[in-house]
A and B are shown apart, each in its own frame.
Chain A
Amino acid sequence: MTFNGTVTRLVIRGGTLLDQAGERVGDVAIEDGRIAAIDDSIGDVQGDTVLDARGCKVSPGFVDLHVHLREPGKEEAETIETGSRAAALGGFTAIVAMPNTDPAHDAVSVIEFVRAQGSKAALCEVLPSGCITVGRAGTQLAPFAELAAAGVHLFTDDGNGVQDPQLMRSALDYAGPLGIVLAQHCEVSALTKGAVMHEGACCSRLGLPGWPAIAEELMLMRDIELVRLTGVSMHFLHLSTARSVQMVRAAKAEGLPITAEATPHHFTLTDEQLSGYDPVFKVTPPLRTRADIDAIKAGLADGTIDAIATDHAPHAPHTKEVPLDEAPPGMLGLETALALSISELDMPLAEIVAALSWKPAAIAGVADRHGRPIAVGEPANLTVFDPSHAWTVVPAQLASKSRNTPYAGRQVHGKVRHTILNGVAVVVNATATR
């Protein structure tokens, strides 16, 4: 409502709508947080805010299943506000906040704090994940039911895999009736002691300890069998190897209730990037080989991998200005995910948007309000992007508090122009409004 009592409309004009139903041209009018009208051409009413969408797709907002916001605990790297701004600029209307903060997401008070900070920033919906084990220490189950009652849907010890098979089995059994989803960071830690990069020809030449593919694949294999045993569904985070894709494909063909995600860096960069010893390319799981990239792309194309997730992992510059083995793993992702997906994936645009929007929305348990079809009455969480807009990644221009993008100087195409969160334009012309 404006001061004189008239309703302010937001009109997205001149774009092509792209959702589960396919593509069609149309203008969208938004009032009171919901889509009020869709028409070939919606005329101006005084007081309307008009967003130019010519040359753009108008799609349901993107949902990122995997974001490290660093608050509480490492606010020098990112805050919930700066991470939310990066998310909005990347077209995300909802992001799942990973639990490896300090303190970790294993208590209702932390969950409420993270959600409150997200609401205060009001740039995207921040969905706190919960820990699988207390303190992510891998020894005692976190209070699933209490955290679920506080609104947590996705549980993970991300950063750590749950090593103990008995504990993981028990976690699945206990989680079953709660309707939550357990998400695994697949890494058998005994196989990755001191590991810095993918184990293969490159690490052998560089004299760096390798992170073998088998460390991911063994835990994935174990967990697929635990899903079979318990019947409880699981999600697999940031899969990085060809064999992992193959295992998920086979398990899905058997009808097992699993989902999986892959990151843009795992379908764009190889271990050869580490040849200059630059810690900006250090990430967990590590950058792998061309064959793995091809497999991840094929997995996304045939739906084996459900979602593109960023694993956005900000680190303060000084923490990356040390030797590789001392540097923390992780790279920025929120503001480059769409462009890299459009630039690098040989998939129809609608399927890329599916992997960025409604498929992860379902996994995150927010399909009632994100990733919705574009229809009258639906919540207005929308992303307007120009798929052909060419731009160059410049670290200093990113909204994240950190600068650790591995794509500095890379030419890409595909850019978010506007992002609408609950009917409010939080990004207009590629600039955050708050």
Chain B
Amino acid sequence: MKHLLAIDDLTADDIHRLLELTDHMVEISGRPIPKVPALRGKNVVSLFFEDSTRTRTSFDTAAKRLSADTMNFTVSSSSVSKGESLRDTIETIAAMGVDAFVVRHRSSGAPQMITRWTNASIINAGDGWHQHPTQALLDCYTIRMGLNRRDGFDGLHVAIVGDIRHSRVARSNVQAFAALGARVTLVAPPTLLPPSLEGWPVEVSHDLDSLLPDLDVLYLLRVQRERMDDALLPSLHEYSLLYGLTDARAARLPPHALVMHPGPMNRGVEMVADPGELPGSVILNQVTNGVAVRMAVLFWLLGSGGDLSEAP
């Protein structure tokens, strides 16, 4: 495989293999000197057209643990406003010699477009409302470890709650969770669901409370203030009343259930309870696992092509 653009580029088998590779990377990360020479001489460029310190840092750490060289480009304004096309930007940086671009862009599809203009591998670090595949993989890894489900998610019930419509995390996680066998329920007011769910392997509910006792994973998404300007929500307060995770709601979850969030959290909106006091919260594990998963992805694309016997 050359690029990682979307979860549906991967088979269930691919996802399992990446998660197994992640186990190796977790082991490396636990060493006194968490660094191996697997990608020595490879040049990994982070190209962020939208600010995201945590994702960029996570990829940067992952690349460095594999001894790759890293460069960071932050392009704050859109390429158009500077009069340079995206193609010009890519071709210019690629001319410096690049093995992989880690791309974050506010526009859906930008990473896929970029594949036309460079021979480097493209790793999608989040594009518009479309996909955030490494987030989905790190979430799968977190569930796999948190619920001890190495063989897949058959029988697990995951609810993804919040602004599904505008969420790249939701689009990639639905595909990944379903590929591994989980039953996925989307929970949101109708205005925050996509216009059509044709072909999505999901159920839909507008009633979080009735679902809670049945869930193995409660996955909360960030809800943004600007949704009120588009008349999609009356107020964040009303959203919180219906869908926010309060202590009372958390108490109705089964004891083993995990609470997850891709961050950054909107405290007091979707996360009313203190996540530090929720026994099921694995939100910081998600962040930790993010580095190992990104190491696995970089090694998969730039290293030995996913051959685990070659894993560092």
Chain A residues with CB under 8 Å of chain B are: 193, 199-201, 203-210, 212, 276-278, 318-319, 321-326
Contacts and interface: CB of A to CB of B under 8 A. Distances in A.
A83 B216 CA distance: 62
Interface string B108-135: 1110110001000000000111110000
Interface in B224-265: 230
B130 A201 contact: no
A277 B87 contact: no
Contacts of B105: 323
- 10 closest pairs, A vs B, by CB? A277-B109, A323-B107, A207-B130, A207-B129, A204-B194, A201-B198, A321-B87, A207-B108, A321-B85, A201-B196
Nearest to B197: A204
B85 A318 contact: yes
A322 B195 contact: no
A321 B195 contact: no
A210 B109 contact: no
Nearest to B86: A322
Contact of B108 (A276, A277, A278): A277
A276 B128 contact: no
Contacts of A322: 79-80, 85-87
Contacts, number: 81
A28 B86 CA distance: 53
Interface of B: 78-80, 85-88, 105, 107-110, 112-113, 117, 127-131, 168, 171, 194-200, 230
B170 to A, nearest CB: 9
A323 B113 contact: yes
B108 A200 contact: no
29 contacts: A200-B195, A201-B199, A203-B194, A203-B195, A203-B196, A204-B196, A205-B200, A206-B109, A207-B128, A208-B130, A276-B112, A277-B109, A277-B110, A278-B113, A318-B88, A321-B88, A322-B79, A322-B85, A322-B86, A323-B108, A323-B110, A323-B113, A323-B128, A324-B108, A325-B107, A325-B108, A325-B128, A326-B86, A326-B107
A207 B168 contact: yes
Contacts of B80: 322, 326
Nearest to A323: B107
A206 B107 contact: no
Contact of A324 (B107, B195, B199, B200): B107
A208 B78 contact: no
Contact of A212 (B86, B171, B195, B199): B195
A199 B195 CA distance: 7
Contacts of B200: 204-205
A204 B87 contact: no
A20 to B, nearest CB: 45
- Interface centre among A200, A276, A321, by most chain B C-beta atoms within 10 angstroms, is A321
Contact of A318 (B87, B110, B113): B87
A208 B108 contact: yes
- Interface centre among B79, B88, B194, by most chain A C-beta atoms within 10 angstroms, is B194
Given A321-B87, A326-B79, A326-B80, A206 B108 contact: yes
A208 B109 contact: yes
B109 A324 contact: yes
A208 B195 contact: no
B199 A205 contact: yes
Nearest to B131: A207
- Interface centre among B78, B112, B113, by most chain A C-beta atoms within 10 angstroms, is B113
A203 B109 CA distance: 11
